[in-house]
Structure 1
Amino acid sequence: MNLSDEMVQVLRNSVLAWLATVDADGWPNVSPKEIFAPYTDPAGITAAIAIADIASPISVSNLRINPRACLSAVDIFRQVGYKVQGHVRIIAPCDAAFTEVSRGLLELTGGQYLVRHVLLLEVEQVRRIMAPSYHLFPERSEAQRVAQAMQAYGVQPVEPPTHS
């Protein structure tokens, strides 16, 4: 399943994503992921999400037992996101695909983190996530929602530079 432009934009606007895996006994594990990006393969198809394993030994261990996972990412200002389910392929630095698959992630780290593996989530199912306010206050515009979220989080919008 290919990711839509909207899904790609939400992923790029999300600060954190949450990866859910399950251990051998069926216990769930949810782990925050800071470095992740839509992955476009060499054929130009965006049907996966690359996730950096920076400090995720439990997630990796669980995925070795059961490769099914769910990643949830939300654009906190627009208050919308996606829950993405699929199978994960664990790609180690010694794998031939690592350089290609990790390229975008390494750019995001700015050289600050060691990427131990790339967790390549191959998208099989996607569901939209929306804040309850979308149902409670459908008349609100996206601009109103963004302004309210920024106020709630104490964030000031950045003014674009003026050129004289």
Structure 2
Amino acid sequence: MSDLITAEVRESVERSVLCWLATSDESGQPNVSPKEVFAVADSQNIVVANIASPQSAKNIRVNQKICLSFVDVFVQKGLKIIGTAAEIKPSVPEYFRWVEPLHAIAGDRYPIHSVFVVRAIAVEPIVAPSYRFYPSETTEKSQVQSALRTYGVRQDKGA
């Protein structure tokens, strides 16, 4: 299997402050939940902390197919990682290998009940429709300016 978590994918994940984990239960009912503690583990895996996600954990136990989405809401671009997930609990010896990068992020602030290890099968871009429908007038800069207006955010001139 090739290395799907490239340097570019790693940079996008590391710039994200939130990602969305989509799972589904045994009947196919989808569930999407935000995750704020996650890290690239290696060239094929991303680890996500299970802090308060009993439904995601339950779904992964019955259906390992998942999707992780990372989107820069200002640029309106990102990526989705399609893959499989396994829940690794603290009672499993390999847990400490997977949880280590998450402890560096969460510290003592959040209890990590288990780790979702996501093995990438495919990585695909997420791009706002404006880039496709209006390519001559849509730039990252114009998308950022539009998002700033929409969200009522002012940029710090000193930043």
Taking structure 2 as the reference length, what is the TM-score of the superposition? 0.87
CA–CA distance in 2 between the matches of 1:65 and 1:32? 20
Matched, 1:50 2:50: no
Q: CA RMSD in A?
A: 1.8
Deviations 1:8-52 (A, max 9, x none): 222122222111111122211111112112112xxxxx2111111
Give the SS at the match of 2:10. Answer: helix
In the superposition, relative to structure 1, how do residues 136 and 85 fare at CA in structure 2: closer, same or farther (>3 Å)?
same
Give the SS at the match of 1:156. Answer: coil
- Kept in 1, the 8 Å contact 2:18–2:35? The answer is yes
Q: Corresponding residue for 2:17?
A: 15
In the superposition, relative to structure 1, how do residues 110 and 149 fare at CA in structure 2: closer, same or farther (>3 Å)?
farther
Letter in 2 for 1:8: R
Q: Corresponding residue for 2:61?
A: 64
Once the two structures are TM-superposed, the CA of residue 147 in structure 1 deviates from its matched residue by: 3.1
Once the two structures are TM-superposed, the CA of residue 159 in structure 1 deviates from its matched residue by: 4.8
Once the two structures are TM-superposed, the CA of residue 158 in structure 1 deviates from its matched residue by: 4.1
Equivalences for residues 95-134 of structure 1 within 5 A: 95-134=92-131
Give the SS at the match of 2:28. Answer: coil
Matched, 1:154 2:156: no
- Kept in 2, the 8 Å contact 1:83–1:126? The answer is yes
CA–CA distance in 1 between the matches of 2:107 and 2:134? 40
Letter in 1 for 2:38: F
Q: 1:83 aligns with which of 76, 80, 84?
A: 80
Letter in 2 for 1:23: D
Deviations 1:61-92 (A, max 9, x none): 11111111111111112211112111112111
- Kept in 2, the 8 Å contact 1:11–1:75? The answer is no
Q: Corresponding residue for 2:27?
A: 25
Q: Report sequence identity in percent.
A: 37
Once the two structures are TM-superposed, the CA of residue 56 in structure 1 deviates from its matched residue by: 0.7
How many residue pairs get matched? 156
